[in-house]
Chain A
Amino acid sequence: MTWDWGAVADFMPHFWDGLLVTLQSLALGSLISFALGLVWALLMRTPTLPHARTGSRGWGPLVRWPVGVVTEFIRNTPLLVQLFFLFYVLPEWGLTFSALTTGVVAIGLHYSTYTMQVYRAGIEAVPVGQWEAATALNLPLRRTWTAVILPQAIRRVVPALGNYVISMLKDTPLLMAITVLEMLGQARLFSQEHFQFTEPLTVIGVAFILISYPASLLLRALERRLVR
Chain B
Amino acid sequence: MTSGLWELVLKGIWVTVQLLFLSALLATGVSFVVGIARTHRLWIVRFLAGFYTEVFRGTSALIMIFWVFFVLPPAFGWQLVPLWAGTLALGLTYGAYGAEIVRGALNAVDPAQREGGVALNFTPWQRMRKILLPQAVPEMIPPFSNLLIELLKGTALVSVMGMGDLTFSAKLVRLALQESAEIYTYILVIYFVIAFLLTRVMRRLERNLKAGLGQGPTRPSRFALKRDTAGASGVSTPTAGTTGTAGVRAGVGGDS
A: which residues have CB within 8 A of B? 1, 73, 76-82, 84-85, 88-89, 92-93, 169-174, 176-177, 184, 187-188, 191, 197-198, 201-202, 204-205, 208-209, 212-213
Contacts and interface: CB of A to CB of B under 8 A. Distances in A.
A211 B195 CA distance: 31
Interface residues of B, number: 41
Contacts of B74: 1, 197-198
A81 B156 contact: yes
A198 B75 CA distance: 8
Interface of B: 54-55, 57-64, 66-67, 70-71, 74-76, 149, 152-157, 159-160, 167, 170-171, 174, 179-181, 184-185, 187-188, 191-192, 195-196
A76 B191 contact: yes
B62 A89 contact: no
Contacts of A174: 62, 157
A84 B55 CA distance: 29
30 contacts: A1-B76, A76-B153, A76-B192, A77-B191, A78-B167, A79-B156, A81-B167, A81-B170, A84-B184, A85-B180, A85-B185, A85-B188, A88-B180, A92-B179, A169-B60, A170-B60, A170-B61, A173-B62, A174-B62, A174-B157, A184-B62, A198-B70, A201-B70, A205-B63, A205-B67, A208-B60, A209-B58, A209-B59, A212-B58, A213-B54
B58 A208 contact: yes
B195 A77 contact: yes
A64 B157 CA distance: 32
Contacts of A209: 54-55, 58-59
Contacts of A78: 152-156, 167, 191
Contacts of B61: 170
A177 B161 CA distance: 10
Contacts of B155: 78
A80 B167 contact: yes
Contacts of A1: 74-76
B63 A204 contact: yes
Contacts of A170: 59-61
B220 to A, nearest CB: 17
B133 to A, nearest CB: 27
Contacts of B67: 201-202, 205
B159 to A, nearest CB: 7
Contacts of B188: 73, 77, 81-82, 85
Contacts of B170: 81, 84
B63 A80 contact: no
B246 to A, nearest CB: 18
A119 B184 CA distance: 30
A176 B65 CA distance: 13
Contacts of A89: 180-181, 184
A177 B160 contact: yes
Contact of A81 (B55, B76, B179, B191): B191
Contacts of B55: 209
Nearest to A171: B60
Contact of B196 (A76, A80, A176): A76
A134 B63 CA distance: 50
A88 B184 contact: yes
Nearest to A72: B192
B156 A80 contact: yes
A80 B195 CA distance: 15
Nearest to B54: A213
B167 A201 contact: no
A205 B64 CA distance: 8
B2 to A, nearest CB: 20
Nearest to B174: A88
Given A81-B187, A89-B181, A208-B58, A201 B160 contact: no
A81 B58 contact: no
A93 B184 CA distance: 14
A85 B167 CA distance: 11
A213 B70 contact: no
Contacts of B62: 173-174, 176, 184
Contacts of A172: 60
A69 B237 CA distance: 25
B66 A188 contact: yes
B238 to A, nearest CB: 10
B14 to A, nearest CB: 17
Contact of B63 (A79, A84, A208, A213): A208
